[in-house]
Structure 1
Amino acid sequence: MTTIAIEQLHVPESLEGEDAADLHAAVEVSRRVRVDTWGNDDLAYTASELLATCHDPYEWYVVLLARVDGEIVGRAGIAMPLADSTDLAHVTLDILPSAQGHGVGRELLEAAEQFVLGENRRIVMVETNHPATTLDWDGGERLEAATGAGYLPLSSREVRFASSAGYQLQQVEQFSACSLPLPQADADRLRAEALSGQDGQYTLHQWMDRCPDQWLADIVRLESTVASVAGDDGTAEEAWTGERIRESEALAAAGGRHTLVSAAEDIHTGHVIGFTSISVLGHREDVAFQDDTVVLQEHRGRDVGMLIKVANLELLAHQFPHVRTVYTWNAPDNTYMLGVNAKLGFVPAGITGQWHKDFIFNK
């Protein structure tokens, strides 16, 4: 019988010394899980990133460790917002493949649930990851998401685990990858197609790491649009302010992360009406992540999204020529952005499932 010990990670002051050994071990567990899931460690984080996350001013981040015979074989990351959504917790589970099937995941999840309940959090969100090669696209029973489009196959081990633990599939997102650089001929063609129907209405602005003061209020407004949509599942999203953006920029800089932004200004109003951003992590130079792309409703349908995304990929190639892959996540019913991404060369890599458990209704 396997004896599993669950304990809370002690967050060290630095990454040096013996007291940081458990943090490094937890990071290695997560890295190995991502290699097993996706075939590479592109989505793995570093010890320095985990340490920074544990000091995030916008959320309280706790890590629970699972040991078997003294070895760390699993971890649960618990993220609890500190401003809005204070009844919510996000739990991320990572279990070494060699330790799966022995109850480690179940014990870790139950321990995480008890922890967040003790902190008066009543809604728990968990995520499952499904590479494209493991998905049954052609048949078999499937579980539909409660919101939006998309589903997951009931044959999936992760689906069975989350369902048996009492979680409901809230939504799914398509995970896609794009190889770089974008061929110049394709970039020129896509930009020309986008500009052809805009009658010179939009002016492009670009920056890295820090939003110019001139556009800060417009970016706050656009970010708030994203937050209002994200909160459609009943959870509140923390309000965006100029101060929050500046603090986020400072945190990114402290962690060595760079953010590249391309934005479109409507020349008739003098306001930025859309932007797209890409993040480049501080610990590696070959991978980047497509973040938000937002265009105000009244300017959609005019290929503003394509215009700014092509420009941002070119900015990325200029500033970080060693980046070989950009990853992104999209709701499967966001057909416009999925179409834009397909034209840019993004191909499906898998699906992520967002699961929800409300303990008020699960008593």
Structure 2
Amino acid sequence: MAHDVRIEQLWIPDSLEAADAADFLAAVEVGRRVRMETWGSDDLAYAPLEKLLELADPYERQVILVAKMGHEIVGTVDIALPLADNQDLAEFTLDILPEYQRRGVGKQLLEAAEDVARGEGRSMILVDTNHPGTSLSDFESEQLIPGTGDGFVPLGSREVEFARRSGYTLQHIEQFSACTLPLDTQLVAELEAEAEAANAGRYRLHHWTDRCPDEWLEAVAALENQAGVDNLPPGQEQAGMVFDADVLREAEAVTISQGRRTVVTAVEHVASGELVGLTTISVLAQRQDVVFQDDTMVLEQHRGNKLGLLIKVANMERLTEQFPDARVIYTWNAPENRYLLTVNRQLGFTTAGVTGIWQKELPDFRDSTS
């Protein structure tokens, strides 16, 4: 059936109401249906306006290819091309409607996306596969473990078979967890008491939403840079964005322009006056019932004082105060980050599944023909 498929670049309309927006809306709906099939809900799916706003991101250009059978869009691949850093990289998000899987649609879309990436001068491709928690127990005896040695994806799953057959190598795993909001008030009181006893008044919390206070800009930029180092997969050198005060303000402006909100709690070491940790939660513009835990980091010399627990509890409480419609918070963590996984379990996070990150280096055809 693959010969019936046409691959086209998706036209991005000026607005959702435009006469030429039908294909865009259909492509976003493909993503929603795939996430419903994978996770049993559309919590992780883009709303159409959310996706349209994201496409204006100045730090990343996105090209979307669609697979059509007749007039129906049956699959999409989103090609994200970083512009500020990692300019050898392209990240793919591949979605095929369940009823059109195993019919060659994914293969055609993936090959077309690789051609686009190569034409953009990108030599390294990342693509992910998603595996709900229920599927992990089904394949306990058939595990593919990444080079890091932590976590696994189910070897017999369709997505894993497809990635391997397409020449991709499993690089690392991210554990995907969910926590129901609001937190139980008794649990909050217990965890706050535990964290405060450990830090013994040596630390002070600071909170803000959307924009960092001027006095903490440089300190937050330094923490973000350290988080970039700490979150690198094993063996990978830092090539991400380097933050300073100007870059941080620009990033805030982009987030605000997309309608997203950011709830932040930071912690100051009282004796030195230094900011030594922070945690961030992102709230989407179009649906404030689903929120996402972003970076949590504490400088190494201040670890062991339960500061990660202190700032996460405080930030989740502030989130509930400001966004009372939030009913669930999602987060991704490397399996080797045992400290944060322990904190998350204390807060009530449960494992929802895993995401496998796969990598492929594209051969440079200019080299092979010279």
TM normalised by structure 2 equals 0.95
Shift of 1:108: 0.5
Alpha-carbon separation, structure 2, partners of 1:299 and 1:234: 24
Residues 236 and 194 (structure 1), Cα distance of their counterparts in 2 relative to 1, 3 Å cut: same
Match of 1:294 among 294, 297, 301: 297
Contact kept, 8 Å, 1:172 with 1:352, in 2: the verdict is yes
Q: Match for residue 126 of structure 2?
A: 125
Shift of 1:229: 3.2
Match of 1:268 among 264, 271, 274: 271
**Equivalent runs, 1:8-157 vs 2, <5 Å:** 8-136=9-137, 139-147=140-148, 149-157=150-158
- Runs of 4+ with >3 A deviation: 136-139, 229-232, 360-363
Alpha-carbon separation, structure 1, partners of 2:33 and 2:299: 40
Give the secondary-structure state (helix, strand or coil) at the position aligned to 1:139.
coil
Contact kept, 8 Å, 1:148 with 1:332, in 2: the verdict is no
Higher alpha-carbon deviation: 347-356 or 1-10 = 1-10
Give the secondary-structure state (helix, strand or coil) at the position aligned to 1:16.
coil
Alpha-carbon separation, structure 2, partners of 1:322 and 1:55: 27
Q: Match for residue 168 of structure 2?
A: 167
Give the secondary-structure state (helix, strand or coil) at the position aligned to 1:341.
helix
Shift of 1:138: 6.9
Contact kept, 8 Å, 1:167 with 1:357, in 2: the verdict is yes
Q: Which runs of 5+ in 1 are unaligned?
A: none
- Is 1:237 equivalent to 2:234 in the alignment? no
Residues 282 and 275 (structure 1), Cα distance of their counterparts in 2 relative to 1, 3 Å cut: same
Contact kept, 8 Å, 1:73 with 1:96, in 2: the verdict is yes
TM normalised by structure 1 equals 0.96
Match of 2:327 among 314, 324, 327: 324
Contact kept, 8 Å, 1:153 with 1:159, in 2: the verdict is yes
Alpha-carbon separation, structure 2, partners of 1:288 and 1:138: 30
Match of 1:303 among 296, 303, 306: 306
Cα RMSD, aligned residues only: 1.6
Match of 2:352 among 327, 339, 349: 349
Q: Which runs of 5+ in 2 are unaligned?
A: none
Shift of 1:228: 2.0
Alpha-carbon separation, structure 2, partners of 1:47 and 1:300: 41
Shift of 1:141: 2.4
Amino acid at match of 1:337: L
- Is 1:188 equivalent to 2:193 in the alignment? no
Deviations along 1:210-263, whole A, 9 cap, x unmatched? Answer: 111111111100110122234452462121222222122222222221110011
Alpha-carbon separation, structure 1, partners of 2:259 and 2:53: 11
Q: Match for residue 335 of structure 1?
A: 338
Alpha-carbon separation, structure 1, partners of 2:364 and 2:307: 43
- Is 1:210 equivalent to 2:219 in the alignment? no
Amino acid at match of 2:352: A
Amino acid at match of 1:116: A
Deviations along 1:27-47, whole A, 9 cap, x unmatched? Answer: 111011111111111111122
Amino acid at match of 1:310: V
Contact kept, 8 Å, 2:265 with 2:315, in 1: the verdict is yes
Alpha-carbon separation, structure 1, partners of 2:194 and 2:302: 16
Alpha-carbon separation, structure 2, partners of 1:150 and 1:184: 33
Deviations along 1:155-179, whole A, 9 cap, x unmatched? Answer: 1111111011000000001100001
Identity of aligned residues (%): 51
Residues 161 and 234 (structure 1), Cα distance of their counterparts in 2 relative to 1, 3 Å cut: farther
Contact kept, 8 Å, 1:168 with 1:356, in 2: the verdict is yes
Contact kept, 8 Å, 1:8 with 1:62, in 2: the verdict is yes
Give the secondary-structure state (helix, strand or coil) at the position aligned to 2:182.
coil
Contact kept, 8 Å, 2:176 with 2:354, in 1: the verdict is yes
Residues 94 and 189 (structure 1), Cα distance of their counterparts in 2 relative to 1, 3 Å cut: same
Residues 199 and 127 (structure 1), Cα distance of their counterparts in 2 relative to 1, 3 Å cut: same
Higher alpha-carbon deviation: 133-142 or 103-112 = 133-142
Higher alpha-carbon deviation: 130-139 or 216-225 = 130-139
Shift of 1:199: 2.2
Alpha-carbon separation, structure 2, partners of 1:342 and 1:158: 28
Alpha-carbon separation, structure 1, partners of 2:361 and 2:248: 31
Contact kept, 8 Å, 2:139 with 2:156, in 1: the verdict is no
Residues 351 and 220 (structure 1), Cα distance of their counterparts in 2 relative to 1, 3 Å cut: same
Give the secondary-structure state (helix, strand or coil) at the position aligned to 2:20.
helix
Alpha-carbon separation, structure 1, partners of 2:259 and 2:85: 27
Amino acid at match of 1:356: Q
- Is 1:158 equivalent to 2:193 in the alignment? no
